[in-house]
Structure 1
Amino acid sequence: MVSRKHGLAVVGIAAMLLAGTACSDTEGGAKPGPGGTQSSSTPGVSTPPGTSATPSDNPAAANVAVVPANGAKAVAPDKPVTVTTSVGTIKSVTLKDDDGDTVDGALNADKTQWTAGPGVKPGATYTLTGSAEGTDGANVPISSSFTTLKATRNLKASVVPLNGETVGVALPIQIYWNNPVTDRAAVEKRLEVKTSVPVEGSWHWVNNKQVNYRPKAYWPAGTKVTVLIKTAGVNAGNGTWGAASREIKFAIGKSVVSKVDVAKHTMTVTINGKLARTIPITAGKDGFTTRSGVKVIMEKFATKRMDARTVGIQPGDPEYYDIHDVKWAQRVTSSGEFIHGAPWSSGSQGSANVSHGCVGMSLANGQWFFNQTLRGDPVVVTGTKRYMTAGNGWTDWNLPYEKYKQGSALS
């Protein structure tokens, strides 16, 4: 109860429309005070128990309105949450859910309105507290609560790279959603990439459960990157609502760019702009041609078992192999192309292509190369007429940047 001598009027305004019907709180509405009548019956206006909505006789008193109304149910998480005073200023506002998580907000320039930022979650009860001050100097407490609607499906994100990881200069940021996204634009508006140096880049939707980001050119070496996935409360469409937000921080390592020329049987490795080594290699033979295009190192294994059954070659086939201890193996396609040490083909390295599609080299060169690279380093392959296809690995760099940008929902 607020003392009438301060002339406070606290008004909660229900601003939601559900199924085309105005939603107003009718539970616990103000009852007539002694010698008075209940306040305004204007549609959409409600008042907390015991609080008069009758305009104060004191024009200098704070006059606070809260949206959504106190006690409102099934509030859409993406609807605005505001606290406004028509007299005086808002001093402080805190908005917390029933788990104690706080939703940040901001005051306007003259401190007459506070607006919550994104982050209101579905299926939660929120409590709003704070204070306002009228031009009469009287401090007025603010208190209200509401409950958000329950989502049919929740939206959560899995992310490449990992938080805290140091990666190569060609690594695309990849966000995988646990449920399909219908409203891609609404979700993409909640995604942000911050970099320690200026970097131009774009989001690109692979499908309705994956969105990637890559720069126009390779990431500058040493760049610090922060990915903000501010999707808590976003309406992703078809009854799917963002259940959480995430922040991922990672760093770009040194620049290691490798170029494989299948026709010349060589791989050149350039580190921070300087040629570091030229390596004799062997690549895919006829029928197993190594794909040309820009590949990105996806996984690294000091030792890897390679069984031809994983690529459809069965025991008994003359091309079948099962090698349990392939050294210094680095995956560059989902279909099974690796760069690795291959002592069994040493006689062909630098002169002939004899592999099943992988790029092979000596154990010494394989170990050296393995020690230079990071997940996300590019390997550019030329010299064949078999080309990379979208989705066979991290293939973002095989699209010209202008075409890649067309995959953004906001382009």
Structure 2
Amino acid sequence: MAPKSWSTGRKAAVLAAVCALAAGGGVFAAAGPLAHASFASEAGSPERSTQGLAFPVVPPLQLAAAPADAAVQVNPAAPVTLKVGNGRIERAALTSETGQSVEGTLSADGSSWASSGPLEFNTRYSYSYSVVDGAGRSTENTRSFTTVTTANEADAAIYPLDGMKVGVAQPLQLTFSEPVLNRAAVEKAIKISSTSGQVGDFHWFSNTMVRYRPQNFWAANSTITMDIKLFGVNLGRGQVGNFNKSVTVHIGDKKVAVADARAHTFTASINDRQVGRWPATMGDTRFPSARGYLVLMEKYRVEHMDARTIGLKPGDPAYYGQLDVNYATRLTPSGEFIHQATASAMPYIGKVNLSHGCVGLGPAGAKWVFDNMTTGDVVQVVNTDGDYAAYDDGFGDWNIPWAKYAN
């Protein structure tokens, strides 16, 4: 047999080596005309849980969004927020069902977005966003939610009104449309300051009414500012405050009167200087005038009075029917006034108490009070057999000891 050619054997060995290298995935197989086709980009590939040939696994994007999709009874004061981990936010938009846009702010690194504009009550909102993960994959989504319904929207009336000028004894009052259970949250939302530097405290007369006063009368000619931020405050049982407001109240001169049921006098002072003293008639033994501090509320040039409103009927010795009185200044909602005494009572002023609880004065005294005293000024009734008026029958705050008022 003829020997094999050297060249033929060498060629076979080389060919075998090439095949072996190709099968084993060596360097040779990844080069030249046998190289693998170019890899697809990671951004164009679905997310992988195992490491690929070209790139390591991209950490999955983490997204936190609030409110949750389809949430209801969302507090309109709570911001809408998006937070992204392992990625960034490209775009976010928040709109109401009527198409009104709500402003928002994107962080510098694109990791978070938050609404900055106020929301409306009882409104459906949609927020759409686009986020990108570390490989450049983009995801878009839209969510929706509905804010607190009208039935859970709580309002409040404030007195005195903004810009009003009142006397030194006027408490500040808020009356809520819904019961307040979270009283501490409401008090925290109301900041009160005075140019006199006086501080006070709140006193709740019911679940719907709270007042505020200092330990002593407000300083004459001072100014009080109420910074009320109740929007979004949880009052309890799902009720949410619906407004923020700033109220400025001006305090006038210190005008205080003393009505003495034993001496039958009415003495008035301005800034602690006596300016007038008039004879008076006050409540008789059956209807004694209420004692303590009574804060003036409102004034009527002529006030119509009806005995039936205090439970009197024809045939009762105290029944006076219906009559009109002049220069009437209200002390309590239940019916106590300072007013000009009736013609039949005029001979008795300064001598006998024969009213149904009111302070009756002569024409000069009643007109002076009407012309010179106003809402928030105060009358102290002394030497009467009457008890204090109910604390919420008018502004009876000053008849509550400070230690009890401030608790």
Provide the TM-score with structure 2 as the length reference. 0.70
| Alpha-carbon distance change, 398 to 53 in structure 1, aligned in 2, over 3 angstroms | farther
Q: Determine if contact 1:297/1:330 at 8 Å carries over to the other structure.
A: yes
Match of residue 297 from structure 1: 296
Between the aligned partners of 2:196 and 2:115, the Cα distance in structure 1 is: 30
Q: Determine if contact 1:255/1:273 at 8 Å carries over to the other structure.
A: yes
Aligned-residue CA RMSD in angstroms? Answer: 4.1
Q: For 2:231, what is the secondary structure of its paired residue? A: coil
Q: Determine if contact 1:39/1:53 at 8 Å carries over to the other structure.
A: no
| Alpha-carbon distance change, 106 to 36 in structure 1, aligned in 2, over 3 angstroms | closer
Between the aligned partners of 1:250 and 1:343, the Cα distance in structure 2 is: 36
Match of residue 330 from structure 2: 331
Between the aligned partners of 2:199 and 2:117, the Cα distance in structure 1 is: 25
Match of residue 390 from structure 1: 391
| Alpha-carbon distance change, 99 to 358 in structure 1, aligned in 2, over 3 angstroms | farther
State how 1:295-374 maps to structure 2 within 5 Å: 295-344=294-343, 345-374=345-374
The alpha-carbon deviation at position 227 of structure 1 amounts to 2.3
Q: For 1:288, what is the secondary structure of its paired residue? A: coil
The alpha-carbon deviation at position 369 of structure 1 amounts to 1.3
The alpha-carbon deviation at position 347 of structure 1 amounts to 2.0
Please list the CA deviations of residues 262-293 of structure 1 after superposition, one character each: whole Å capped at 9, or x if unmatched. Answer: 11111111102211111111111111111111
Match of residue 380 from structure 2: 380
Give the letter for the 1:357 counterpart: G
Between the aligned partners of 2:292 and 2:100, the Cα distance in structure 1 is: 46
Provide the TM-score with structure 1 as the length reference. 0.70
Give the letter for the 2:72 counterpart: A
Q: For 2:281, what is the secondary structure of its paired residue? A: coil
Give the letter for the 1:392 counterpart: D
Between the aligned partners of 2:363 and 2:100, the Cα distance in structure 1 is: 53
Please list the CA deviations of residues 16-46 of structure 1 after superposition, one character each: whole Å capped at 9, or x if unmatched. Answer: xxxxxxxxxxxxxxxxx95144699xxxxxx
Give the letter for the 1:293 counterpart: G
The alpha-carbon deviation at position 96 of structure 1 amounts to 9.0
Match of residue 264 from structure 2: 265
Between the aligned partners of 1:121 and 1:37, the Cα distance in structure 2 is: 40
Q: Determine if contact 1:121/1:244 at 8 Å carries over to the other structure.
A: no
Match of residue 194 from structure 2: 195
Match of residue 44 from structure 2: 35
What is the percentage of aligned positions where both structures have the same residue? 36
Please list the CA deviations of residues 187-217 of structure 1 after superposition, one character each: whole Å capped at 9, or x if unmatched. Answer: 2222222323312111111111111111211
Equivalent residue pairs, number: 338
Between the aligned partners of 1:117 and 1:273, the Cα distance in structure 2 is: 52
| Alpha-carbon distance change, 222 to 325 in structure 1, aligned in 2, over 3 angstroms | same
State how 1:4-403 maps to structure 2 within 5 Å: 35-37=44-46, 68=66, 73-74=71-72, 76-77=74-75, 79=78, 122-124=121-123, 147-150=146-149, 152-344=151-343, 345-388=345-388, 389-403=390-404
Between the aligned partners of 1:378 and 1:105, the Cα distance in structure 2 is: 51
Q: For 1:347, what is the secondary structure of its paired residue? A: helix
Between the aligned partners of 1:349 and 1:74, the Cα distance in structure 2 is: 66
Between the aligned partners of 2:312 and 2:72, the Cα distance in structure 1 is: 56
| Alpha-carbon distance change, 101 to 248 in structure 1, aligned in 2, over 3 angstroms | farther
Please list the CA deviations of residues 338-386 of structure 1 after superposition, one character each: whole Å capped at 9, or x if unmatched. Answer: 1111152232222221211111111111111111111111111110232
| Alpha-carbon distance change, 358 to 207 in structure 1, aligned in 2, over 3 angstroms | same
| Alpha-carbon distance change, 358 to 208 in structure 1, aligned in 2, over 3 angstroms | same
| Alpha-carbon distance change, 351 to 187 in structure 1, aligned in 2, over 3 angstroms | same
Show structure 1 runs of 5+ residues with no match.
Answer: 1-32, 41-51, 56-62, 87-92, 130-142, 407-411
Please list the CA deviations of residues 128-159 of structure 1 after superposition, one character each: whole Å capped at 9, or x if unmatched. Answer: 99xxxxxxxxxxxxx99864343642211112
Give the letter for the 1:163 counterpart: D
Match of residue 136 from structure 2: none
- Give the structure with the larger helix fraction: 2
Between the aligned partners of 1:306 and 1:170, the Cα distance in structure 2 is: 27
| Alpha-carbon distance change, 122 to 38 in structure 1, aligned in 2, over 3 angstroms | farther
Give the letter for the 2:371 counterpart: N
